[in-house]
Chains A and B, each alone.
Chain A
Amino acid sequence: DTEVTQTPKHLVMGMTNKKSLKCEQHMGHRAMYWYKQKAKKPPELMFVYSYEKLSINESVPSRFSPECPNSSLLNLHLHALQPEDSALYLCASSPTGLAGATGVKNIQYFGAGTRLSVL
């Protein structure tokens, strides 16, 4: 099973709402990632969790709050978003996100994404 499952597939929220995106994998991977992708642009890394600890935060605004409850699950909590935050949010996992990990250990498996619209 090489599947990364993201829910929901689509989400519409107002600027005062609180919502969460969910990502799940059962490949035994110990690194999980959140990316943001605007239309016709490449994915941009937001956060990296390695062994359930936050290892990279790419200066993401605090209205995005990641959480990794266990090695299979990754959440992204959203609060007070702006219309410009509308995008496709992608989750990925890889065997390990450790420093110096190379080659196959860095191959990332992506979910299909959650398409978020902020009104």
Chain B
Amino acid sequence: DAKTTQPNSMESNEEEPVHLPCNHSTISGTDYIHWYRQLPSQGPEYVIHGLTSNVNNRMASLAIAEDRKSSTLILHRATLRDAAVYYCIGGGTSYGKLTFGQGTILTVHP
């Protein structure tokens, strides 16, 4: 499984963009990069995934470095509801297995 490194915590103000970084330097060439988040008192929730190209969906954007050793999850306008622990999972998804790292606690200030 690829080891991921994320900041322990980050803070943002409401309505501002948030860039959450993740390093996954040991990721293999065929492994996807997945992001999940866990809101308080809930199970993890899928956010986005990608392989090589940048990806957008209704929740966020994922920017993947050209060498695939790092990626950035972008929340374009943070809301209070986005306060959560964000997990980056680089590889380790064969047989459906997700190996969660420590994640980044995102605090959003009104």
- Judge whether A72 is part of the interface by a CB distance below 8 angstroms: no
- Judge whether B65 is part of the interface by a CB distance below 8 angstroms: no
Of B44, B101, B102, B103, which contacts A110 at CB under 8 A? B44
Digit string of A34-66 for contact with B (CB within 8 Å is 1, else 0)?
000000001111001010000110000000000
Tell whether, in the assembled complex, residue B96 and residue A94 are in contact, meaning their CB atoms are under 8 Å apart. Answer: yes
Chain B residues with Cβ under 8 A from A90's Cβ? 43-44
Please choose the segment from B17-25, B66-74, B75-83, B87-95 that sits at the chain A interface, where 4 or more of its residues have CB less than 8 A away. Answer: B87-95
Within 8 A of B (CB), among A48-103: 48, 50, 55-56, 90, 92, 94, 96-103
Least CB distance, A83 to chain B, in whole angstroms: 22
User: Chain A residues in contact with chain B, CB under 8 A?
Assistant: 4, 31, 33, 42-45, 48, 50, 55-56, 90, 92, 94, 96-104, 106-113
